[in-house]
Amino acid sequence: MLSLSMLVTLFSFAGNASIIGQWYTTDKGAIVEIYQCGDKICGKIIWLKEPNKENGTPKTDENNPDNKKHNDPIIGLNMLKGFVANGNNKWEDGEIYDPKNGKTYACNMELDGEVLEVRGYVGISLFGRTEKWTRVNK
């Protein structure tokens, strides 16, 4: 018998194509794996085009406002969290973390074919930036 949370999850994804999988960022500098985390959608960095600093050591989260996280590797970093499907190939109410500047933004995502539009913003969606991610074909 399905639990109530599983039923809610199943119904919340009705009408949505799947964004579960691996996505190249706009500049193809990283691959983000989007996955189910409980009844929400999350994502983590699984590949970097340039995984190391100039000194040859792996890139770390040195811009994180939490000093304790400065040595955490970028590969494996959870950067998307809390997204809920709305039934129209859109996922809302999530957050995206940008390791380049150490900031976290409100975020919505919309799937248009094989392109995932990822919009990070502060306050309202009007004041933000949209990136277009493409699915990694294996």
- Looking at the domain 4-135, which fold is it? Lipocalin (2.40.128)
Domain ranges of the chain: 4-135
Give the model confidence (pLDDT) of 38-96 as tens digits: 999 999 999 999 999 999 999 999 999 999 999 999 999 999 999 999 989 999 999 99
First to last CA, the chain: 34
- In this structure, what are the phi and psi dihedrals at residue 7, rounded to the nearest 5 degrees? -65, -45
Question: Is residue 69 helix, strand or coil?
Answer: helix
Angle formed at CA 53 by CA 133 and CA 61, multiple of 5 degrees: 65
Q: State the pTM of this model.
A: 0.86
DSSP for 19-42 reads --EEEE-TTSSEEEEEEEETTEEE
Residue 11's pLDDT band (cuts 50, 70, 90): very low
Secondary structure string (H, E, C) spanning 88-109: CCEEEEEEEEECCCCEEEEEEE
